[in-house]
Amino acid sequence: MFVFNEGTMDVPHGWRDQTINVVSSSGPLEPGLTLSITRDDIPWGMAFNEYVEDQLNQVSDALTDFKLLARKPVTIARAAAFEVEITWMSKQGPMHQIITTVQLPEGRAMVVTGSMPGMMTPGQANEVRRIVSTLNLQQPKRS
């Protein structure tokens, strides 16, 4: 059973949740803080910290004027996680992101990204971290 905000669907056993959820503090066409949630499979045989490092390397190579401001291990919902804080230059201007990657069961990862055009204020950065800290993971359902 696949559960999402608007309802549920009965999908075949073994299908993986690859959805992207985005929530925003602003209205349409207004720049503001957004949170995106993505899920990914950690490649077979790769440790969680290796996966996080690999993802960070890919992002640093792909983004213009990439700067790593901070990187630290954290615990979210009793799960191992890493938080990275970065800035980079998009086509629309500077971006500031706090990216928290959470280790999920069965070789999966959830990535929660707080993004803000320009720079987040210390209060905004703290609010992103507070919101991420409220993550409550559910145990995978077996069919």
Residues 17-45 have pLDDT tens digits of 788 888 888 766 667 899 999 999 999 99
55 by DSSP, 3-state: which?
helix
| Domain annotation for the chain: domains and CATH numbers | 17-133 (3.40.1000.10)
Residues 61-117 have pLDDT tens digits of 999 999 999 999 999 999 999 999 999 999 999 999 999 999 999 899 999 999 999
| Distance in angstroms (rounded) separating the CA atoms of residues 31 and 104 | 31
- Written as six digits, the tokens of 68 are 């790593």
Q: DSSP states of 79-143 as a string?
A: EEEEEEEEEEEETTEEEEEEEEEEEETTTEEEEEEEEEES---HHHHHHHHHHHHT--PPPPPP-
Backbone angles phi, psi at 79, to 5 degrees: -115, 150
